[in-house]
Amino acid sequence: MKTFERDDLLFFRFEALPDNGGVGHAVFSRRGGVSRAPFDSLNMSLSVPDERDRVYANRRRVYGLYGRDTNSVVHAHLVHGADVARVTQADNGAWVEHVDGLITDQPGCVLSMNFADCAPIFLYDPVRHAIGLGHAGWKGTVVDLPGAMVRAMAAQFGSRPADLVAAIGPCIGPCCYEVGEAVIDGVRAAFAAPDELLRQNGRPRPHFDLPEANRRNLYNAGVVHIEHSEFCTACRTDLFFSHRAEKGRTGRFGTVFALL
């Protein structure tokens, strides 16, 4: 990813995804907002006990980069599932219920989601001019939310998986993601070579490779162009919020994917 600074904001863009007159995207760090500890400072979410006015001020800064505010981007109530919603401009300002993937082919539609360890999934179809934004923690990963997004774009827009450009954003890495029985059982049931994703490396408990599992989900769905941010959110709490590393007392960083 490439690093950008504007005013106090620090954010990132993938090499593989465009940010031009037709499509825009960004992964925001936790820097450049007005929230106080432990939400310092660019917390985008009211699902944590931050002050409402500060969250709205943060959203104005982030969405303002795309000429929007919280009432003119599409949000999702994330539930760690594999449901995907097709949205349009009419959904700008709405909170789409019970989905972890949003897709659109309508210019003027701006997708947003917030994260703290789960993997952001970006999908771009340069042929059909369509985009998708998804949220995959371990539950979304073992139920293949990324594959569901690929199939939804194929069904709704005629996207060919081989045309899609995918990017996996900052998420907790195998360096930090020690997991218990529920995750281990889920990964063993979902993946062909689970031991490659449950890394032991001499440690007492396995550590789940969340980004690699989602790369495999995308690859198994036919996507070949896949970029990964390489940032571990738990290693880099200077840049990102991490639910695991900060023991739940933290905020959520924002992502935006816009079809212009």
Q: At CA 49, angle to CA 43 and CA 51, rounded to 5?
A: 65
Binding residue for Zn ion, selected from 42, 168, 176, 218, defined by CB under 5 A: 176
Nearer to Zn ion, 61 or 207 (CB): 207
Nearer to Zn ion, 226 or 232 (CB): 232
Residues 202-241 that bind Zn ion (CB under 5 A): 232, 234-235
Provide the minimum distance between the beta carbon of 63 and Zn ion in the complex, in angstroms, as a whole number. Answer: 29
Provide the minimum distance between the beta carbon of 12 and Zn ion in the complex, in angstroms, as a whole number. Answer: 17
Binding residue for Zn ion, selected from 173, 186, 251, 254, defined by CB under 5 A: 173
Q: Are 24 and 34 in contact (CB under 8 A)?
A: no
Nearer to Zn ion, 147 or 170 (CB): 170
Is position 175 an interface residue for Zn ion (rule: CB under 5 A)?
Answer: yes
Size of the site for Zn ion (CB under 5 A): 6
Nearer to Zn ion, 173 or 211 (CB): 173
Residues 6+ apart with CB under 8 A from 164: 123, 124, 125, 150, 153, 222, 223, 225
- H-assigned helices in the chain: 52-64, 138-142, 145-157, 181-190, 194-197, 210-220
Give the CA distances from residue 215 to residues 98, 118, 153, in Å, rounded to whole numbers and listed in that order. 23, 14, 17
Token pair for residue 236?
């880099």
Residues interacting with Zn ion, by CB under 5 A?
A: 173, 175-176, 232, 234-235
